[in-house]
Structure 1
């Protein structure tokens, strides 16, 4: 059972409210998000692209731009090599459009998830070499490709890395020795000697910084590339990085741009998935658009998603968007079957006793291992690896909980893997099939997780009596958007709520509606979208219970009313 707790961080809430023209509720929520100083509060509430840091602060940025300027002047062939997920596709598109603006002879390549695997590999290097490519420019990958980059350099090629993943390290006598590839320039804010102030950018954010600096150094107007912020926003949401600092600015700005996008592919994808573009938010990108883009890389080739972004006209865009949507529907079916099989394995074996789950699904399509791992992590609230069978052994993905640094722990048993990479909350790996049992044993022996670590925590911003909830507060809460990782949607609570007439509605019976009455007799409408059958059973048994919720406006047939979206129940 999840442990509920109320954030009790202290500050001069009345003073903050007066100074910034907000309510004390907003002041408390900002403090709970560790937004504390005047500079942080102002950036959080009012940040614009003008507040973004200069990309030159990144280690090797000026070196990379200098090389690219020279290659462009010499008309050398440059190839961008991205990755097959939403961040990789958008990073590739950003660099492609940026270099085209700069006058470069540029093309792109994206690895095939099954044939090539993650990131740069020898086959991609060979392909570039055979095509007469002079310079490889990576995005959303490369920081871990030490051998592959050395191979490219042996062939006389120039290699520039742009990435945002953690740097691999070896631990000797308790000291971490970081391994940086021997590329001509390596741009990654996670390098220990990189002085860039904000470390949480996704690959697309790093790529956009490079484009800006390149155009400025070529004495071109960088504003010509500003439309690419919409692609940074898509990648930032889809790659589930923290929506703090610069990422918050990118996403807030990008969502507004997307409402008026000129990109035919994105317009067609919005249309075929039925998104209300005027009210576009992080949910639509993360759970509707993102999965369609990712489905290409999972079940076919991510090059199709890149083709959609490059669609020359509406007709081509509509056909491609429909294909992406159909691929995602197939992916959903495969995922449900995979989750069912994994749960059955865990529940009927000793796996259930492990604090780090290692689940081997040999018949599962390797492309959905990460999604299944995420679903299992949510269900059991434990770090989870899902492995599948491939021609070259086992391959899979991991998803972690807050208390467990997955990438650091994998570094401690790196000798078991043929390849691995990632960050604190997610990772990818390959290893010989015969070492799966050893991996499960060792990763559990190394884990120092306590029972408390594996108990999900529900963080409540504050107890909010119904009497405080009105349209003004709901409008004010919009100033805290966009919501996502690192800037979660606020959770409010009331303790003893009477649940009146709970019922399940909807064509697919996936919505629960009820009336909620607090101890002082005030009533409001409630709505719940999770496991509605379980929620209904609990409500009918308990009658009076604590709930967490988020208030919103419901508009129906011209009428506006306040509705509480129920988030957690006990």
Structure 2
């Protein structure tokens, strides 16, 4: 039952509602270790993941420790040559560089061997992560956690951690560690508020639940982003024309985040990290423009990959496969996860997209709510040379000769039924567009930020007349409809989809039934009402 207290926290929650960092297992101990290392002038290295959450976690740790006087540097694995997470090669480099302490962020919970290697070579190892903890199933059917042998393991998902909100992203865990360190060292914790916009971007882009603490942290980060003193972040906003724009979670997830990710996919994520450390505005603008160009390149590569994957998915669907294991020869491994997500959306099946790597096959999976991808992969873990992830998303590597075995066994184990593959759309209100006003949209904004587990309210209108269709965008994937209700209300509707796919659905039909979310479109100072269409089908008659 949701009471007044929960409603108040949902609508008006603030930083006072974030738990004390020492409530998370390991933070007190890690803060004490780091305090000593800083005071003893020991060298500390951060090793993160190469996605948005990883880079932001890295920056939050670097900035916090640097400002306390720590001898701190960082490494971000190269997606192509290092792969995901910490490994013995990265630790060997740290030993050569005479590093004393390694902190992982957004990775490390599944790196038992690598952490052991670090400990054997005299390193202090602190693991901070938010991913599911690996486990083995004992003979009696119970699960036994497999934790890395670090000096401290900080992961709110480990069984022994009683932290009240275990759904933070990697940057959220890193932020709490830095808070704990500032408390331990008697530093001014309020100075950390400048890191909240980085944390907010990570939280949205890692698609963790936007509930509880995550929701508060994103709200607080959005409030502060235009006040950021970070020249690199200012440059990213500038090249996208967002310096004066009201920022919302959408902008993090679909504009800023993809640019950061593109660096880790097609270049090196260290370029983004260095952007956030840049103090020269002209250099920062140049790098930000390069990141924007990289993202455009990534988009083109993705569209090509989706077309090829779609053809395979149709074949597997017809053959009765419940889990699609798609192999794309020559595909850049960095976009496998994006392609898997697109195919999952189209077919509503769990999807793995694999491509060639130096050591066999490598790829990513995206799942549906009814299928825990990480658990199912654990059942066939002997196939993989490496794997990890969440119920809804995962990554893996395996020998190429075991591709068919993987496809066969993952499907044989699957217990999903036909009903599970039906994409169910839950409508909040059946509301004709005639009721939409600017005041209503302003009132709905109180529910933001929107994201996973705090989705935008979904409205529906039955049978709007389509008076005109226009197509925009370089890829012809922005469809603008001039719509008219039976009561005479005219409004534009936007659909973000390839033109060919849209035309195929529409045919010669003139009426559309759709789910939508209302927005205010601003152009050259003029405001108009608009709907963003989520799901739709066409009919002949009103």
Fold-level similarity (TM above 0.5): yes
Partner of 2:113: 147
Cα deviation digits, residues 304-346 of structure 1 (max 9, x gap):
0101111112011011112211222222222122222222333
- CA distance 1:564–1:336, shift in 2 (3 Å): closer
Aligned residues: 533
Q: Partner of 1:170 in structure 2?
A: 136
- Cα distance in 1, alignment partners of residues 334 and 125 from structure 2: 28
1:90–1:556 Cα change, 3 Å: closer
Q: Distance in 1 between matches of 2:270 and 2:39?
A: 28
1:70 maps onto 2:36 in alignment: yes
Q: Is the partner of 1:453 in helix, strand or coil?
A: helix
Q: Distance in 1 between matches of 2:316 and 2:514?
A: 34
Which residue of 2 is the match for residue 404 of structure 1?
A: 371
Change (3 A) 1:538 1:78: closer
Q: Is the 8 A contact 2:492 2:529 kept in 1?
A: no
Is 2:86 aligned against 1:112? no
Q: d(CA) in 2 for partners of 1:533 and 1:345? A: 19
**Map 1:469-488 → 2, pairs under 5 A:** 469-488=436-455
Q: Is the partner of 1:278 in helix, strand or coil?
A: coil
Distance 2:464 2:245 in 1: 36
Task: Confirm or deny that 1:308 pairs with 2:275.
Answer: yes
Q: Go from structure 1 to structure 2 and tell me whether the alpha carbon gap of 1:164 and 1:471 turns closer, same or farther (over 3 Å shift).
A: same
2:530 alignment partner, SS class: strand
The equivalent of 2:22 in structure 1 is 56
Which of 479, 502, 508 is residue 511 of structure 1 equivalent to?
479
Q: What's the CA shift for 1:293?
A: 0.8
Q: Does 1:264 align with 2:234?
A: no
Structure-to-structure mapping, 1:31-110, within 5 angstroms: 36-110=2-76
* 1:565 equivalent among 509, 519, 532: 532
- Summarize deviations over 1:130-183 as a string: whole Å, max 9, x none: 111111111000100001101111111110011000000111232111111111
| Aligned partner of 1:243 among 188, 194, 210 | 210
Q: Output the TM-score relative to the length of structure 2.
A: 0.94
Q: How far off its partner does 1:42 sit?
A: 1.0
The alpha-carbon deviation at position 68 of structure 1 amounts to: 0.9
Change (3 A) 1:537 1:111: closer
Q: Aligned partners of 1:329 and 1:425: how far apart in 2?
A: 26
Q: Is the deviation greater in 88-97 or in 295-304?
A: 295-304
Q: How far apart, CA to CA, are the structure 2 residues paired with 1:507 and 1:86?
A: 26
The residue correspondences of 1:414-429 to structure 2 (distance < 5 A) are: 414-429=381-396
Q: Which residue in 2 is equivalent to 1:437?
A: 404
| Deviation of 1:351 (Å) | 7.4
- In the aligned structure 1, how far is the partner of 2:5 from the partner of 2:303? 45
Distance between the aligned counterparts of 1:567 and 1:338, measured in 2? 23
Secondary structure at the aligned position of 1:457 is classed as coil
Matched with 2:540 is none
**Within 2, Cα distance between the matches of 1:470 and 1:204?**
38
Cα RMSD (Å): 1.9
- In 2: Cα distance, 1:460 partner to 1:232 partner: 31
Is the Cα contact below 8 Å between 1:526 and 1:566 reproduced in 2? no
1:208 equivalenced with 2:172 (yes/no) = no
How far is the alpha carbon of 1:369 from its aligned partner?
1.1
Q: CA-to-partner distance for each residue in 1:341-367, whole Å, 9 max, x for gaps?
A: 222333356775311011112311111
Summarize the Cα distance change of 1:367–1:558 in structure 2 as closer, same or farther, 3 Å threshold: closer
* Mapping of residues 331-480 of structure 1, within 5 Å: 331-348=298-315, 353-466=320-433, 468-480=435-447
Match of 1:526 in 2: 492
Question: SS in structure 1 opposite 2:346?
Answer: helix
Query: What SS is found at the alignment partner of 1:420?
Result: strand
Contact 1:351 1:357 in 2 (8 A): no
Match of 1:135 among 82, 97, 101: 101
Cα contact 1:524–1:564 (8 A) shared by 2: no
Task: Determine the C-alpha separation between the residues in 2 that align with 1:535 and 1:330.
Answer: 24
Structure 2 match to 1:492: 459
**Inter-CA distance 68–351: structure 2 relative to 1 (3 Å threshold):** farther
* Equivalent pair of 1:166/1:423 in contact (CA under 8 Å): yes
Contact 2:313 2:343 survives alignment (8 Å): no
Question: Hey, what does 1:7 align to over in structure 2?
Answer: none
Residues 502 and 539 of structure 1 are in contact (CA less than 8 Å); yes or no, is this contact kept in structure 2? no
CA–CA distance in structure 2, aligned partners of residues 208 and 490 of structure 1: 30
**C-alpha displacement of 1:539:** 5.4
Whole-Å separation in 2 of the counterparts to 1:529 and 1:335: 19
Gaps of 5+ in 2: 538-542
Query: Partner of 2:406: helix, strand, or coil?
Result: helix
Partner secondary structure for residue 353 of structure 1: coil
1:156 — aligned with what? 122
C-alpha displacement of 1:466: 4.1
CA–CA distance in structure 1, aligned partners of residues 340 and 33 of structure 2: 41
SS of the residue 1:326 aligns to: helix
Measure how far apart 1:558 and its partner are: 4.5
CA distance 1:247–1:305, shift in 2 (3 Å): same
